[in-house]
Structures are given as C-alpha cells and as structure tokens.
Structure 1
Amino acid sequence: MTDNIDEVRISLQKFGWPDYSIFLAMLSICAAIGVYFGFFEKKSKSIGDEADYLVGGRNMKIFPVAMSLIASFISGISLLGTPTEIYIYGISYFYIMGGIIITGFVMMTVYLPVFHDLKLTSTYEYLQTRFDRKMRLFGGILFIFSQIVWLPIVIFVPALAFNQVSGIDIHMITPITCICCIFYTCVGGMKAVIYTDVVQSLMMFGAMLLVIIKGTYDIGGLDVVITRNVESGRIEAPDTSFDLTSRHTIYSLWIGGFVYWLKANAISQNMIQRYLSLPNLESAKRALWIFIFGVFILLSICCYCGLLIYATYNECDPLTTKLVKAKDQLLPLLVVDILGDYPGLVGMFVAGVFSAALSSLSTGLNSLSAVLLEDFFKPFSKTPLTEKQTKYIMRGVVVVFGAICVALVFVVERLGSVLMLSMSLGSIAQGPLLGVFTCGVMFPWVTGTGALVGSATALSFMTWLCISAQRAITTGELKFDTKEISTSGCTYHFIPDDSMSMLAINVTAPTTPSTPTSSDFQIYHVSYLWYTFLGTLICIIVSLIISYIFGPNNPAELNPNLLAPFVRKLINRSSSTDVTKPSKCNLIKASESIYVPESPSMKRAYHNGDDVESRL
C-alpha cells in the first residue's frame, strides 16, 4: 500500500476546463431553446397563451414527446441509484421490467383514453368532474406535497456526483443549474421543456453508453464482467417465493412494480401533461410504447453499470474503504477512474446526469404551474382571470417553486440517513392517488363521499406504514441483505468505520429489507414494492364500502366519457337506461358529452380564461 485514502480521493478529481466547457455548453443549449420558444417562435392566436404554455398547443410531435417522457421519468436518482442497487443487492431489480410492460397495456386501455378524450390540462380536474370539488383539492394538495419533497432530492443527487468528480461544493453548482432550468421553463413553457428534454435524453444515453463501452473494454471484456458477478451471486434467477417480506420476489416486482409504475405514469400530472400535448389518442399510444422501449434500454444500461462497478472493484469495495462518502457516488467513481485521463469525457457524463435532473425539475415545475393555475387560482377566483394575470401566475409559480426547491437542498443535505424517510413521505400519496383515480375510471358505483373517505383512510395507513418501516430500519429491527464484498485487493491505506452513516439513494423508493430480525410478522415488514399496491387496494375497498353504505351511484347516470372504455361497454350491455340525462350534471357540449356539476365554483373553473369549447 502506497497512498492513504485522502490522497487517492483527491487524485480522482480530474475535472478540467474541457469538462467544464461541455457542462456549460449543455446549460447554454437548454437556455437557448427556452429563449427561442419564449421570444422568437410564432404562436397561433387561436390556441392562446395558456394552452401553448402548459400543453404545447396540443399539437406536439410523437418522438420529442416520447423522449421527453423518458428524460422526465429517469431522474438522476435513477441513473445513479440503479447501478448502486445492482452493486449492493444484485440484479433482481431488473426483473421489474415485466411489471413495466404490463403497465403499458393497462395504461393504453384504461387510463389514457379517459384523460385524452376529456382534453384536460390538470389531471385533478377529472376528480371534480367525476366526484366533487373536495376530491379535486385533495388530489392537488397531495401532488404539490409530493413534488416539494421529491424535487430537492432530484437536484441534490447529481450535485453529489459533481462534487465527487470535481470537489466543488454542491451549493455552488445547484443554484447555477437550477437558475438555468427555471429560466427556460419559465419563458419557454411546455415546448421548451420537451425540446430540452430531447437534448438531455440524448446526453443521458450517450454518457451511459460511453461508460459501459470503455469500462467493459478496460476490464477485459463482457465475459469477465459476467463471470465475476455470477460468482458473487449478483446475477441470479428471480425469487419465486411467496414471502411478502422478501425484498424482491417475482411477484413483488411484477405486481407491486406494475402498480408503482402505473401510478407514476398513468395518473401523474408530470407524465399525463405530455401525453395531452399530442393531438390525438393514437399519437399518445405510440409515444407510450416508445417511452417503455426507451426505459427498457436505459434501465438495462444502468443495471449493467452496476455489474460493471462490481467487476471493477470486486477486490476493493469503495464503500468499506470510504473512497466514496455516499452510496450514490459509486458510478461517478467508476467514471473518473476509467475516463479521467480523457479530457471532456467526465464532463459529458456529469452533463448527462445533470440532464436527467434538469428534465425532472423542469417537468415538475411546469406541472406545478398547471395544477396551481387550474385547481387553485381559477376555481377560487371571483372573476375570470385575464390573459395577463394567467401569464403572470403560470410563470410566477415556476419561479417561486424553483426557488423553494433550491432552498430545500440545504435541508436535504442535513437529513443524512433520514433522507430515506423523506423519500418515504413522498411515496405515501402514491397509493391513495392511484386508488381514487382507479375508482373513478373503473368503479362507477363509487361516490364522492366514498372516494374521499377511502383516500383519506389509505393516506393515514400509508403514513403509519412508511414511518413504522423507517423506524424499524433505524433501530435495526429490519436489516438489509446485501451481496458479498471484499477489500483484500486494496492498494491504499484506509480505516474502515462500520458505524459510518452513509446516504442511501434507492432507485424508486426507500427499501424495506427482506429479513426482519423479529420473529413476529408486522405489516411494515413487507417489501417496499408492495407499498403503492396496499395503498391503492385499501382506497378502493373502503371507497366501495362507504359508497354502498350511503347509496352508490347509478352507473347508467354517469357520463360514459369519465369511465374506461371497457367499463362503458359493460354498462351498455347491462342496462337499457338512457345515459344522456345524468341526474346531477349539466350537459355543456353535446358533441363532446362532457358534464360539469352544477356548482357555481365548477362553472367558474371551466369558464375562466377561455370558453368551454376552446378548452375541449
């Protein structure tokens, strides 16, 4: 052994001016796209500034939207967290692709037709049309909460990667990158977000491909990577046991993973807003499958990076030696190790990781702008908003919430090991939201009262479940089962510290370990992949029970456009009731069959800004 750990760590910080140039070029291109769509693109007067800003005039092209969906969904957490997941726990997470494919079929046939036919801007408008105003506010508040919790983490994770390769403090880089993102999102709207996402998605793919090609070549080829990971048990067949506490089984990955991805893609404002920017349902379906194919490719690349990290450091674990201070810095370590001697290549990787973060941030800010305008400002405005007021509100929301996210990075940095708890809090709302939307499109008997009680019950249960699980992890009641590691081949001095608390960023959500130390089964011992499924199931069951106690809806009296296509067919077959005369709704446009409750607040919500027909 020749060097100590600090000398090795400093020697790996090889971020030179070519790398800075590439990183700044990425930011400059994104800003230029925002300037173009904000100040130079000719806008159609018939569309209106609101529709152009929030949904791109509903006339976007399929490929850019699909690339935007990929870039928005695959954040820096995924790019850095997935390889860490594979390195520590093995390849079992990759089998979630089965659940993702199922998600595509369900979304295409159940959820997407409803949202696209209604021509909504905010998905939570649906909750008022289907149930009542309370449900719309409930859904909007949960969405805002989840974004405020999630977006600062999205910013913080790539900042750690930048710190690993350059040594620059995270609080120097996060304001610069976020100001650029806030700028192009604010001035360019949805079109700027989508086209910057195209650039950023190409950067992501290019950076990750560069790592796996160069890393595989340096280590001696694909067979070396496969052999070392098979010997360590990281490449393994899926677990087929029925144990709910097992961290990853084929059932939790396919069923639980399917429900998790369904919520994240089928009813998320961040994603649906892009599908609604396309001109018709067929275009949205094509974009959906391009998105799933792209996610499959990118997820495969990320998983292979995890195998490559182990094959490279199989005899000297960087976590044990503290060569990296955080688990999610494993991939940046590999990058500087194999690409550090080539000017500009490390900069390309960092630009790719930050591209993933910026795409998620811009998507979140644009979606917050839509939700705040449509679900909070318009319904509560006593007079219709003018075009100028609408413009200021949309852009003001982006600036204000962007600044809040930057400020919260200081909080995230100080959470330490409690950061997983904050990620749990973000996942609390997933099950209740998916449950209430599923009740709306698939269970016509559910009433507004039933949906509110069901979603509130599910929210309370998920809050208790996530907090209990995190407390069990903190106290050691639950422990993680990890794959073997070794430090026998290290060539530098280090002092292992088993008590060191390292930040853990997981690929999708906080993980619940598979082996409880307690012999008594507790519901919070279940795998994290079942969280969304449990929340959804509780919401649906309680909603149905409460609805039948107080009197369910008559399915024949509901507007069929609010229901999934197969549910419409079932109702038509089982009832001869005239569905064109709903008992509690007014028909506002016969050709579109869109119904709005009679309350004055709802009428204001739909008549603010533009007339109803232009919105439809």
Structure 2
Amino acid sequence: MQLFSRGIFVVFVIAVPVVIFFSRVDKSASKPVQHPVLSREQGASARMTEPDAEVNPFTWLDYVIFSAMLAVSALTGLYHACAGEGQKSTAKFLMADRSMMSIPVAISVIASYLSAITILGVPSEVFVYGIQYWMVVWSFFIAIPVTALVFIPVFHGLGLTSAYDYLHKRFSPLMRSIGALFFILQTLLYIGVVLNAPALALQAATNFPVYATILLLGALCTVYTAMGGIKAVIWTDVFQFIVLFGSLLTITIMGIVQTGGMSHIWDYNNQRGHLNFFNFSPDPTQRLTFWGTIIGGNFNTLTIWAVSQTSVQRFLTAKNLKEAKKSVWFGLPGTVIVLTLVGLIGLVLFAYYNNCATLVNPANATAATALLNCNGSTPHYTPHYQSSDQILVYFVSLEFGKIPGIQGLFVACLFAGTLSTVSSGLNALAAVTLMDVVRIWRGRSKPRTDSDASGEISTNASGSTVTSASTPSSSVAVNQAQDRCDTIISKLLTAGFGVASIGLAFVASKLGSLVKMANTVLGGVGGPLLGVFSLGMLYRRANTGGALIGILVGFYLSMWITIGAATHQDENHNVKEDAFALYRISFMWYSMFSSMATFIVGVIVSEIIRCSIPDERYKRVDPLLLATFLRPKGWHKSYSGTESNNPDLQIGDPVFQSLLASGNQSMDQENESLMGDIEGNDIHELGSVQNEVTDMRNGQY
C-alpha cells in the first residue's frame, strides 16, 4: 500500500507539471516557427523550403502517452528502491547481485546505445549525405564477436565491478586511475551530447525551451537511477526500448505510405545517388566511405561494447559467463534492426522533401511549374530548420501531428532513448568513482570487489550475507556498516554526476551535428582506452611503462586531431578545405587512429623496456589477465602444482582455490600475485561463484 501511494505521488508530480508546461508553450507552438534556412552541407541541388511551416500542437492523448512513459520510468526506479531489502549494499546497487538473465541485459545495452542521437542523428545523416552511414551495421558483425569472445571472458573471470580494476591487476594502480579518469571524462561529455539531442528536437516541434527539456530529463533520470540502482536501469531500459522500437516502427510505416511506397522511395534515392552504399575511396578525409564505416565503425563500436564501464558493468550483472556472452550476442540482431529502421527513415525524408529539388525559388515558382517539375505529384516543401537533426521532428509534427497520440509517441521515443543512455551512464560513473577513486583514497591497497570489505563477506545466490567462520563478528559488523555507507556514497555520486551532466548538456547545445559530436567524443577519449585494454589482453610481453606511454600518446593524438578539427570549422561545422590534413580526417577514424597509436606505441616501448631492464624479461603474466586463446595450455597445473583439465576455472572459484592450496605450498612471488591478495580483495561473491562452478561441472561453459 505504501509503495502504491508513493507511485501515485510520483505520477502526479511528473504528469501535472508536464501537462501545464506543454499547454502553455503550445499556445506559441501553433504559430509559424521562423528559423534561418541552412543549406544542406553537401546538397547538389537547390530545394524548396516552406516559409510558414505550422507545427501542430499536442493533443490530450499526446500528453497522456508522453507523461505515462515518464511515470513508468520513475515508478520502476521507486519499485527497485523499495522491493525486498532495497538497494542497501553496493552489490545490489551496482551489480544487481550478479543475478540478471541475458535478455534484459542485452536489451538494456541496445537501448543505451540507441539514444536520441541515433533516433535523430542517423535519419539526418542519411537525409543529408546518403545511406552510406548505414553501412556501420556491418561493423557489428566484427565488434560483437570480439567483445563476446575476447573481452567479456576476461572481465567476468576476474569477478570485477569496475572494468578499470583490470588495468590495476595487469599493469599498475596508476594505469587504473588514468583509465577511470578517461572514462569519467568520456561519459560526462557523451551524456551532455545525449541530453541535448531531444531538447533541440522538442524546441523545433513545440517551442518547449531547450533548458527546460534538459532539466526535466536530467532530473528525472538522476532521481530514478539514484533510487533503484542498476536493476532499475536495466528494467527501465527494457520498457524504454519497447517504446522506442514501437515508435520508430510506426513512423517508418506511416512515412513509407505517406511518401508513395517503398519502391518509389528506393527508386528516387537511387536516381539521385543517395544509395551510396559502396564508396570505396581510400581517402580518410572523406566524411563517409565504405572503409570508414566498416573499419572505423568497428573501433567506435568496441569502445562502447567491449571496454566501456557502461556496457561491461551490465554484462557482468549476468549470473554466469554463459549468460553474459549471450547478452552480448543478442545485441547484434537488435542493433542491426533498429539502425536499419532509422536509416530507412532517412531515405523516406529525402524522397518526401526532395521530390521537387529541381524547382526554382519557391517565391518565383507558379503552381503549374511546381506540378510540372514534380511529375504531377504534390510538391513537398522542406521546412525551415536550425539544424538538420530537427528534420525528423518537423516531419512527424507537420505530416502526422493531427493524428492524436503520434507526436506524444514520438517525443516519448526521444525521451526513452535519452533516459536509457543517461541512466546507465550515471550508474557506471558512480561505480567507477566509488571503486577506483573513493576506495583508493580511503587508503586500501585494493578496493573491495563488490559487497565485501575484506574478501570474506559476500552474498549467496539469494542475496543473503555469508561470512567465513574465521571472520570475527565485530569485523563483519564494521564491514557491513562500511558497505552501507558506500551505497549511500554511490547514490550521492549518481546525483552529483546527474547535475554535472545537465551543465555539460548546455555546452553541447552550442555544437554541431549529433552523430559527428558523438563519434568525436567516443573516438577522442574511448580510443586510447580500447588500445590499452587490447594491449593488456592481446600482448603478453606488455608492461606498465609501455601501457603508460602508449595511452598518453594515443590521448595526445586524439586531442590534437579533435581540437584542431574543432578550431578550423566553417559556419556549417565542417572542417575547412585548407586546414591541415590531419584535421580533415573523418570523425569515423578517430577511434581507430588513437587506439592503434596506443597499442603500437605500447608494444614498442614495452620491448625497449624489456631490453633495457633485465628483470622485465623474466616477469610472468597471470594467464587470467590474457585473452583465453593466449593462455598457455595446462596453465592451471603450472600455477598450482595440481593437474586440472578445466581451462575455464575462475580466480574466485573455490575449486580453483583448493587446487592452489593442495599444490606446491612454496609458491613464488608470481604465484602469490596470481592469488591477488587472497585474504583481501579478489574473491567475489560465493553464491555467484558456486553457480559458475556448478555450470562448469555440468559442461554449460
């Protein structure tokens, strides 16, 4: 009853202000929206623009649909904050007790990837530049297998909460701090861009102020994420993906019908050279090419799916490695389908608004001339817009706004895409800051992995606290109290990052294309992170010095390119033709260049160090820190002195620990490093581990 009353209160608090505010701004929305006309950056021909486009105001059904989406999202966070024992431990708040199944995790990651940037930016990109950007879907057929087979088994095998704890184990605490800092910078910037996307669109359709949209989205997302933790993030993402997909499918079908059918759309785009799938130019300065979308897109995708805490954290909430891998694989068809839908919407927009692209200036054109140039079809004028990212919003409002509920569904779609991305980002930021900053500053050599302060407090499969017999009860009480304190800190961090993201969103509103901004942020900061993780997992001889120099060189290169490109732009946010060649490189290549620079420099410097310092030549690497296909055969025996035929045993596996204990008791320093301070920090929850051991014995791995 208490939960129900809280829910009613949340619905009331959200719905009433939204309805009042929209009803006020709609009075002005019924008037023509006057914006300066911007030409298409690469438009080959002039087009008709509509001087007095009237957007349709929201109906009561639009309000209901939009408010319901916000209310359900908030209620989901409230439910997970109150259900059961609530979010009273870091294991629950940050990792959902590692109990999630693959389907909701996969949908959550897809929803976060397909933000409002995808919904608005990809149709705009296709409308302006052609279908070439859609070819990025083929990069997923490379990036998804690499994520599932190379990166996730390593992260899951170590029982991590923060992906950047890997850099600590593989290299040094300094590398962990650098990785965490890079992630925080990247995610804050990206969330700022994501929050800005629906704000611009909503302003175009309803005159709803940009600042009000950013504040509403940021505040709502911060509240339900801080209340409900990672479980609330995952389950709201599932709901929001349903809204997002249903809205896109509806608009795609209605747009195809409105434009005259798929065959007409395809033929028209083909005649105008807009079906430019295969631009095989090797020139990296061209905005989009086949190689840029496939190769460069692959690196962009890996920065999000393989090494970003935002995705890795949710993959690691899966109850075992099998479920974690499945959640990665399920992301492939879902992402391809949605990207195909938004790409198709771009083709619809081009065919609909460019049917009369050969017309003279509309002020001088007669109705007869218009019909003649349109081959007898009704001419459609391109609406005035400040940014091409607004074109889809105008299309929905002008062409379908009189149908009750359609505008509300579309705005709900934009908000759903934004909320899913922002909520996962805020939770990941809280996790990284707690694990890699707060607990480090607290003076521990290594932070706890999840819910345990000393490695001897954990949870069983049902989430109950389990302690070892050797742990004093007073120590348990202190550790549990500290964990509750850390949970509160995590919630406060979520709120703090939410406020910071809102501020950065106002900065992002002054920049250019959404797709270009997003790929620039991901490539500029995420590329070096991808490079250093790849160096650690794929190159056995890599060392701390090589990793440090490599990531700094990669970051310097990416910042040099991105800042140089940003300071040499014309009024349409394109790099000037006379700019330095490196500044004119397409944003699709940023991630590849910076990650490859990190990896190659890391390899070279590592080899120089090995040649210069004899001790470096004899250091062995814990096989758990390498990709599974690089681990030496029979490595369990060499580390424990006991034969083991199962190559998938995890470091937190009690079976693996017993092998170590029953083997050679005089382990050298490298063997002790393998155990990872067994009394302290690397044994993850016993319940989760027991499930993994059972699965291994049953051959489910």
Residue 118 of structure 2 is aligned to residue 78 of structure 1: yes
Question: Displacement of 1:174 after TM fit?
Answer: 2.3
Please list the CA deviations of residues 559-579 of structure 1 after superposition, one character each: whole Å capped at 9, or x if unmatched: 1111101111xx449x99944
Distance (whole Å) between structure 1 residues aligned to residue 636 and residue 498 of structure 2? 52
Please list the CA deviations of residues 395-450 of structure 1 after superposition, one character each: whole Å capped at 9, or x if unmatched: 00111110111223333334568996797355311221011000111101010111
Question: Displacement of 1:112 after TM fit?
Answer: 1.1
Distance (whole Å) between structure 2 residues aligned to residue 198 and residue 555 of structure 1? 49
Equivalent of 2:131, from 74, 88, 91?
Answer: 91
Residue 67 of structure 2 is aligned to residue 24 of structure 1: yes
Residue 435 of structure 2 is aligned to residue 339 of structure 1: no
Question: Displacement of 1:139 after TM fit?
Answer: 0.2
Distance (whole Å) between structure 1 residues aligned to residue 672 and residue 619 of structure 2? 19
Alignment of 1:405-484 (within 5 A): 405-415=501-511, 424-425=520-521, 427-474=523-570
Question: Displacement of 1:596 after TM fit?
Answer: 10
Contact preservation (8 Å) 2:531, 2:595: yes
Distance (whole Å) between structure 2 residues aligned to residue 409 and residue 245 of structure 1? 29
Contact preservation (8 Å) 2:353, 2:382: no
Distance (whole Å) between structure 2 residues aligned to residue 525 and residue 325 of structure 1? 24
Counterpart in 2 of 1:257?
Answer: 297
Q: Give the count of matched residue pairs.
A: 563
Contact preservation (8 Å) 2:277, 2:290: no
Contact preservation (8 Å) 2:547, 2:602: yes
Q: Classify the secondary structure of the residue corresponding to 1:11.
A: coil
Contact preservation (8 Å) 1:425, 1:463: no
Residue 461 of structure 2 is aligned to residue 398 of structure 1: no
Please list the CA deviations of residues 257-314 of structure 1 after superposition, one character each: whole Å capped at 9, or x if unmatched: 1122112110110001111010112212221121111000000000000001111101
Counterpart in 1 of 2:623?
Answer: 560
Distance (whole Å) between structure 2 residues aligned to residue 242 and residue 612 of structure 1? 50
Q: Which moved more, 1:297-306 or 1:216-225?
A: 216-225
Contact preservation (8 Å) 1:446, 1:547: yes
The aligned amino acid for 1:409 is A
Distance (whole Å) between structure 1 residues aligned to residue 344 and residue 652 of structure 2? 54
Change over 3 Å in CA distance of 1:55–1:580 after alignment to 2:
same
Contact preservation (8 Å) 2:95, 2:314: yes
The aligned amino acid for 2:509 is E
Please list the CA deviations of residues 220-239 of structure 1 after superposition, one character each: whole Å capped at 9, or x if unmatched: 21111111111111113412
Q: Which moved more, 1:413-422 or 1:171-180?
A: 413-422
Contact preservation (8 Å) 2:523, 2:594: no
Residue 247 of structure 2 is aligned to residue 204 of structure 1: no
> Any unmatched runs of 5+ in structure 2?
1-30, 35-49, 363-379, 445-452, 454-478, 642-650, 661-668, 690-701
Question: Displacement of 1:177 after TM fit?
Answer: 2.5
The aligned amino acid for 2:525 is A
Contact preservation (8 Å) 1:432, 1:455: yes
Q: Classify the secondary structure of the residue corresponding to 1:120.
A: coil
Give RMSD over aligned pairs.
3.3
Contact preservation (8 Å) 1:181, 1:361: yes
Change over 3 Å in CA distance of 1:379–1:606 after alignment to 2:
farther
Alignment of 1:297-312 (within 5 A): 297-312=337-352
Change over 3 Å in CA distance of 1:174–1:527 after alignment to 2:
closer
Distance (whole Å) between structure 2 residues aligned to residue 305 and residue 227 of structure 1? 15
Residue 310 of structure 2 is aligned to residue 214 of structure 1: no
Equivalent of 1:128, from 168, 171, 177?
Answer: 168
Change over 3 Å in CA distance of 1:415–1:236 after alignment to 2:
closer
Distance (whole Å) between structure 1 residues aligned to residue 328 and residue 517 of structure 2? 32
Contact preservation (8 Å) 1:76, 1:354: yes
Change over 3 Å in CA distance of 1:597–1:170 after alignment to 2:
farther
Q: Which moved more, 1:19-28 or 1:366-375?
A: 19-28
Counterpart in 2 of 1:533?
Answer: 592
Indicate the structure whose relative CO is greater, using CA pairs within 8 Å and at least 6 residues apart: 1
Please list the CA deviations of residues 88-146 of structure 1 after superposition, one character each: whole Å capped at 9, or x if unmatched: 11111111222111111211221111011111100000000111000000000001111
Counterpart in 2 of 1:379?
Answer: 440
Distance (whole Å) between structure 1 residues aligned to residue 633 and residue 123 of structure 2? 49
Equivalent of 1:294, from 327, 334, 344?
Answer: 334
Distance (whole Å) between structure 2 residues aligned to residue 332 and residue 96 of structure 1? 24
Residue 424 of structure 2 is aligned to residue 360 of structure 1: no
Counterpart in 1 of 2:224?
Answer: 184
Counterpart in 2 of 1:174?
Answer: 214
The aligned amino acid for 1:434 is L
The aligned amino acid for 1:465 is I
Distance (whole Å) between structure 2 residues aligned to residue 580 and residue 9 of structure 1? 78
The aligned amino acid for 1:324 is Y
Distance (whole Å) between structure 2 residues aligned to residue 436 and residue 615 of structure 1? 29
Change over 3 Å in CA distance of 1:308–1:95 after alignment to 2:
same
Please list the CA deviations of residues 517-570 of structure 1 after superposition, one character each: whole Å capped at 9, or x if unmatched: 45x9823333222211111111111111111112275588221111101111xx
Please list the CA deviations of residues 19-38 of structure 1 after superposition, one character each: whole Å capped at 9, or x if unmatched: 12211110110111111110
> Any unmatched runs of 5+ in structure 1?
475-500, 505-511, 582-586
Question: Displacement of 1:588 after TM fit?
Answer: 8.8
Counterpart in 1 of 2:375?
Answer: none
Contact preservation (8 Å) 1:559, 1:579: no
The aligned amino acid for 1:562 is L
Change over 3 Å in CA distance of 1:522–1:409 after alignment to 2:
closer
Distance (whole Å) between structure 2 residues aligned to residue 588 and residue 91 of structure 1? 48
Counterpart in 2 of 1:496?
Answer: none
Distance (whole Å) between structure 2 residues aligned to residue 612 and residue 58 of structure 1? 9
Q: Classify the secondary structure of the residue corresponding to 1:96.
A: helix
Q: Classify the secondary structure of the residue corresponding to 2:541.
A: coil
Contact preservation (8 Å) 2:549, 2:601: yes
Change over 3 Å in CA distance of 1:80–1:156 after alignment to 2:
same
Contact preservation (8 Å) 2:111, 2:241: yes
Residue 411 of structure 2 is aligned to residue 350 of structure 1: yes
The aligned amino acid for 1:344 is G
Distance (whole Å) between structure 2 residues aligned to residue 422 and residue 231 of structure 1? 31
The aligned amino acid for 2:194 is V
Change over 3 Å in CA distance of 1:580–1:449 after alignment to 2:
farther
Q: Which moved more, 1:420-429 or 1:430-439?
A: 420-429
Distance (whole Å) between structure 2 residues aligned to residue 334 and residue 302 of structure 1? 14
Q: Which moved more, 1:320-329 or 1:252-261?
A: 320-329
Question: Displacement of 1:380 after TM fit?
Answer: 1.5
Distance (whole Å) between structure 2 residues aligned to residue 419 and residue 68 of structure 1? 21
Change over 3 Å in CA distance of 1:286–1:417 after alignment to 2:
closer
Please list the CA deviations of residues 560-613 of structure 1 after superposition, one character each: whole Å capped at 9, or x if unmatched: 111101111xx449x9994459xxxxx9977457999999xx9699649x9886
Residue 128 of structure 2 is aligned to residue 65 of structure 1: no
Identity, in percent, stands at 32
